[in-house]
Structures are given as C-alpha cells and as structure tokens.
Structure 1
Amino acid sequence: MGVSEAKELYSKFITRKVVFILTGLGGLAVLSLFTASIGSAGLSLNDVACAIFAKLFPFTNIESTHLADIVVWKLRLPRIAMALIGGAGLAVSGAAMQGVTRNPLVSPFTVGVSSAAAFGASIAIVLGFGLIGSETYIVITNAFVFASITAFFVYGLARIRGVTGETLVLAGIALMFLFSALTSLLQYFASEEQLQAVVQWMFGSLSGASWENIVTASILLFLCLPFLMRYSWDLNAIAAGSDEIAKSLGVNAPRVRVICLILACLITAGIICFTGVIGFVCLVSPHIARLLIGADHRFVLPYSSVLGALLLLVADTVGRNILSPVTIPVGIVTSLIGVPFFIYLLMTRRKEYWV
C-alpha cells in the first residue's frame, strides 16, 4: 500500500467517525424537540416549534399560545437542556477517567465525588450549615464545594511520586465509603422532613433545573472540555499500556493523569450540585461509545457526551411520563434503562466496532 492510498484510507476513516458523531448530534436535536411535546399538557410538535421560534425570532409572524410558552420555556426546555448538559458532562468525565486509569469500571463517582457532594448537601439540609453562598443556594454550593474538595484531594494524591491509577481508584473507593458513612450518620439523626429531602436529593432529579443553573453548568463544561480534547492523543497512549509505554511515546503520563482527573471531577461537581446524584451515565456511556466507534479518545470523548445526553434525556422523559402525574427521579430511571441495554450490547458485541 502506497502513502497516498494510506492517506486516503485514513481520511475516509476519520470522515466516517465525524459523520457518525454529527448524525448523533442531529438526532439529539430532533429528539429534544420531540420530547418537549410529550406530557400531560397535550402540546403538539407544531405547538412546541411555534413556541420556540416565536421566542427566538420575535420579528417574524410566528404566533404561540400563552400555555405553550409557559409549558415549553418554563417547564420542559429547562429540563431538556439540563439533561443534555448534565448527560454530556457526566459521560465525558467518565470516558476521561477510564482512559487515564486504564480501568473500565472507573467513573467520577468511584473516586468519591458523588458521595462527597451528597454529604455536603446533607449538611446543608440537616444542619442548615453552608460553607459559602446564600440560604437559597446553600445545598447547591455545599454539594459543589465538597465535591471539589474531593477532586483536589485526588489531585494531590495523584501528584505523589509513584502513585498509580490503581492506587487512585482504591483511594477514591475509600473516600466514597467514608462520605457515605457520614451521610448515613446525618440521616440517622435527621427529622422526617429532613430525611425525605436528603433522600430525594440523592435520587437525582432534573425538576429543579433553571436557566441560571444551566448556564453555570454549561460554562464549566465548555471551559473544561477543550482541555480534555487537547489530551485525547495522550489518553490513547496511556490507555494503550503502561506508563512506560506512554513515556516512550513522549507522553508525561502522571501530568496528564492529574490534569484529566481534576477536570473530570470539576465537571461532575458542577453538574451533580444541581441535579443530585446521577451515577450510571458516566459509567455506561463511554463503554457504548467504544463499542460503536472504537477506542480512539479523539472520538470517544465527543461521542460519549452525545450518548450521555441521549441517555439522560430519554431517562428523564420516561420518568416524567410513564406514571404521570407522578415523576420518577431520573437517577433511578437511568439505571433501569441503561443496565439492560448495556448488558445486551456486551452479550452481542462483535470483535470490531461499528464505524
């Protein structure tokens, strides 16, 4: 095979994956519009489209009803947007952490981030104590601060010479059990109302989504994501074998591991402080992405985010409609939907990925 033929094959290889990712984004946009029309208000796709375009393009002649405006812009679109941002952020964090630790069972939640956030939220709910922030946002700020503290602890541990990915995972599991025990202790002494609030937060829900929260989570995600993408080649080298192999390829594995871990933990902290604990998305989405598109992190990271957004959007839509008017927390639905599908993919997986 000549050089020109190799370049042509590589170009087709890249093009297929890019088209696959762009198709996923297009499908996600269509699905978002469709899910906005599903609910007890009885809005059609045309009603939803008119409500959206009338707001975005007020200079046109498109008209919308007051009911459609309220339902779409105040109730459904905030949930959809938070599902997209939250699912994308959790999934890309999981993909990055699985890459730097070379462990397919690792996610930001196995290093104690979610448990720390739950403990911080429990302190705010049960004790009424907040580290920073006003009384209105005490639960959110506590969850973010405690999750961030855990992230920087992992960062400090990763800086220690000789600490491997396996050690980080074990330390994270220890932190997870520690914060879970402390949260259980607070629950034991909590009143009935406080206990209900803590449990509800730990279920994970998008019902409290607001445009302010969405903007905050989006800024954090889009600030961190380019840095993760910058290290996608380095993640490939680390995931390919030992740190010595990565070093022979010119990759400073400890440095990349530290940077990617802290970015992944911060993205996760910035999402779960608004949504509560939603853990399964960051574990299963990277696996599905690798089964479909291969193990190259240049494509695994963006496609994991697409799949994470898709999974969380579908889970939230199912949760708020399957037993309407009762809404099932999205954290429960993600596991109920994701686990069987993930097992099916594993049982039917081929030796080669799809594209």
Structure 2
Amino acid sequence: MKYHDGEIQQVYKKSRKIKCLIIIAGIVLMLILALAFTTLGATGAGMKEVLTAIFHTIANGGEITDNQEKVVILLRLPRVVMAILAGFGLAVSGAAMQAATRNPLVSPFTIGISNAAAFGASLSIVFGVGFFSGSQAGTVFNAFLWAVGCMALVYLISIKVGMSPASIVLTGIALNYFFSACTSTIEFFANEHKLAEVVQWAFGSLNGSQWSEVMVVLVVVAVCCIAIYIFAPALNIIASGDDEVAKSLGIHPERVRMEVCILAVLSTAAVISFTGVIGFVGLAGPHIARMIIGSDHRFLLPFSAIIGALLMLAADTIGRLILAPVIMPVGIVISFLGVPIFINLILTQRKGSM
C-alpha cells in the first residue's frame, strides 16, 4: 500500500501522539502505584494519610513531629523513591547498551559491573580493604569504585581491538566470570557473620533506604539518563545498521558507543552500590517497553525508565507482603517476577514473526 507525503506525515504524527500518550499514562500509573504502595505496611496509613503527611512535612520545612508521619516520610517514602530511581537507572542503561552494541541480550551487568561491585563490597565487609572500611559508606564506595574500575578495564581492552560491539561484550563476559570467582573465593574464607553480610548485600535490597542515599542516586541517575537521552537519535542510527552506515550519516559509532556505555555503567554503579545486585531490570525492562512503544529511542528510553520503575515497585511490594513480616530481598523477587514475563515476551514475539 502506497502513501503520499502528506499521508505519511499524518501517520507519523498520529503514531507520535499515541506514544506520548502511552508515556504520560505510564507516568500517571507509576505515581498512583507509588502512593498506593506507600500505604502498605504494619502501621495502617491510607492514601489520605500519606498525602497529608507529605504536604504537612513540606509545609513545615521538613520538620516531622507525628509518629505516623515519621513512618511514612522516613521509612516508606525513601524506599519507594529508591525503587523508582533504581528502575529508571537500570532500565535506561539496559536500553542504551542494547542499542549501542546492537545486542538484545546485553545489559550493564553483561560487562561484569554487578560482580565487580559485589567483589568490592566483599573486600570491604570481609577484609576491611578499601576506603572507609568497616562502615556502610565504605561498602557503598568500594562497590562503586570496583564497578567503575571494571568498566575502565573493559574499555581499555576493547579500545585495543577497535571498540566493536563484540569486543565489549566478550571482554565483559570474561570479567564477569573473573569477578564472580574472586567474590566466591572471598566468601570461602569469610567467617559466618561476614559471609551472611556479603550474601545479604548480594541479594539486592531496598531495606534501610535513607533520603541522603536517595539524593545521591537521584543526582547521578538524573544526569546520566538525561545525557543518554541526548544520544537517542544517534542510537537509532547505530541500532538499525552497521557502523559504516552510521559513519556515512556523520555519526562516530565508536565514540558514541564508548560515551553511552560509560554513562550507563555510572548510572548502574550508583544504583547497585546502595541497593546491592539487582540484575534483571536492565534486561527485561527495555524489551517490555520495546514491545509496547517501538524501537525509536526518543520514546523507548523514557518508557523503559517507567517500565523499570513499575517492575521495581511491584517486586519490592511483593517482597514485603508475600512472607510478611519477613521481607524478601527485591533482587530475588525481581528474578522470579521478571523471568516468566520475559519468556512470555520471547514466545509471543516468536509467534508473531512466524
């Protein structure tokens, strides 16, 4: 079926409008669920009480006097906001790296970031090695430092062979196994209490999230996600063809690939340094978003962020309720929740292509 130029523009505008409406609907749904999940807990607090606590705290300049307000503002709300930010950072990073490497199975964790962060945290917890050792700040800082160090090592090796997608992925897989072995070795020599602490960190959890931590993650994730979004047109070109096509259109694929992947890793490292290893969102979130809204990264990146946040909110809420009063770590729940969804998407896509 042939379209005239005017009809093509009309179809494009209609498609763009629908995608914008989907993103707006996703944001509204995310905010409603965030408020709803803030009401859940041992201390009863309805939607009205949550909104009242938020507005009352803002009106009083951050001063909190009521016990129920303390529960909502200091315990539940930071956890919910951290879940949203973690979903944003991990899903956008995954979508960006999948485009940059033209590999749908790639996520920031593919290049060893999670296991490198776990290794850094293990060194701090078990042996007290690194900055601020023996403290929670030390665990966070060393996890971030080793995650960034892993990224640097991947690119130093990849640069030697031209920063191709295959070299990044293969180098990352090798380092992933290496840091996994290193972490297992540390766990082997750790005493019972230290081992339990390392394993608890590796599970991935939002327990104990504080506003100071939320603000750090907010700044890093916001800066990285905005910077990644600026590359959306270039990612569209790189993802749809080979490097020679991108070069013919004035894009430098090696430079874009390096800058995008660095931003993705920084965002991921900032998240997992505070939450522990949460690995599935960066892989499944972009695929779910792509099935709904398409592959245009101008829309895919923000919608991936929304899907990632929804997955994190759902997983954390299920983890708090399913075995209450025991709280199941979000990293475990997201795998149980995400794997069936992901397999279903693969099967649906396969049937649609047959």
The alignment's TM-score, normalised by the length of structure 1, stands at: 0.94
Local SS of the residue matching 1:42:
coil
Residue of structure 2 in register with 1:302 after alignment: 302
Q: 1:14-55 deviations in whole A, cap 9, x for unaligned?
A: 111111111101110000000011112122222212111211
Name the CA distance, whole Å, in 1 between partners of 2:4 and 2:163.
44
Q: Is residue 315 from structure 1 mapped to residue 318 from structure 2 by the alignment?
A: no
Q: Is residue 47 from structure 1 mapped to residue 49 from structure 2 by the alignment?
A: yes
Name the CA distance, whole Å, in 2 between partners of 1:349 and 1:101.
21
Local SS of the residue matching 2:109:
coil
Name the CA distance, whole Å, in 1 between partners of 2:124 and 2:210.
20
Segments of 4+ moved more than 4 angstroms: 350-353
Report the residue type matching 1:10 in the other structure. Y
Residue of structure 2 in register with 1:234 after alignment: 234
Name the CA distance, whole Å, in 1 between partners of 2:252 and 2:133.
38
Quote how far apart the aligned CAs of 1:96 are. 0.6
Name the CA distance, whole Å, in 2 between partners of 1:206 and 1:349.
33
Residue of structure 2 in register with 1:113 after alignment: 113
Residue of structure 1 in register with 2:28 after alignment: 26
Quote how far apart the aligned CAs of 1:13 are. 1.7
- For the Cα contact (< 8 Å) 2:201–2:277, is it kept in 1? yes
Name the CA distance, whole Å, in 1 between partners of 2:348 and 2:163.
37
Quote how far apart the aligned CAs of 1:132 are. 5.6
**Unmatched tracts of structure 1, length 5 or more:** none
Name the CA distance, whole Å, in 2 between partners of 1:118 and 1:319.
22
**What number of residue pairs does the alignment pair up?**
349
Report the residue type matching 1:262 in the other structure. I
Quote how far apart the aligned CAs of 1:244 are. 1.3
- For the Cα contact (< 8 Å) 2:124–2:134, is it kept in 1? no
Residue of structure 2 in register with 1:87 after alignment: 87
C-alpha RMSD over aligned residues: 2.0
Moved more, 6-15 or 275-284: 6-15
Name the CA distance, whole Å, in 2 between partners of 1:179 and 1:85.
26
Name the CA distance, whole Å, in 2 between partners of 1:205 and 1:155.
29
Residue of structure 1 in register with 2:259 after alignment: 259
Q: Is residue 102 from structure 1 mapped to residue 102 from structure 2 by the alignment?
A: yes
Quote how far apart the aligned CAs of 1:9 are. 2.3
Quote how far apart the aligned CAs of 1:279 are. 0.2
**Unmatched tracts of structure 2, length 5 or more:** none
- For the Cα contact (< 8 Å) 1:155–1:261, is it kept in 2? no
Moved more, 233-242 or 210-219: 233-242
Moved more, 140-149 or 47-56: 47-56
Name the CA distance, whole Å, in 2 between partners of 1:104 and 1:271.
22
Quote how far apart the aligned CAs of 1:12 are. 1.7
Report the residue type matching 2:286 in the other structure. P
The alignment's TM-score, normalised by the length of structure 2, stands at: 0.94
- For the Cα contact (< 8 Å) 2:161–2:167, is it kept in 1? no
- For the Cα contact (< 8 Å) 1:236–1:297, is it kept in 2? yes
Kindly, what percent of the aligned residue pairs are identical? 47
Quote how far apart the aligned CAs of 1:166 are. 1.1
Q: Is residue 347 from structure 1 mapped to residue 335 from structure 2 by the alignment?
A: no
Residue of structure 2 in register with 1:7 after alignment: 9
Name the CA distance, whole Å, in 2 between partners of 1:338 and 1:113.
20
Q: Is residue 207 from structure 1 mapped to residue 207 from structure 2 by the alignment?
A: yes
> 1:193/1:132 Cα in 2 relative to 1: closer, same or farther (>3 Å)?
closer
Name the CA distance, whole Å, in 1 between partners of 2:59 and 2:345.
43
Q: 1:175-219 deviations in whole A, cap 9, x for unaligned?
A: 011111111111011000000000000000000311111111110
- 1:246-285 paired onto structure 2 within 5 Å: 246-285=246-285
- For the Cα contact (< 8 Å) 1:159–1:254, is it kept in 2? no
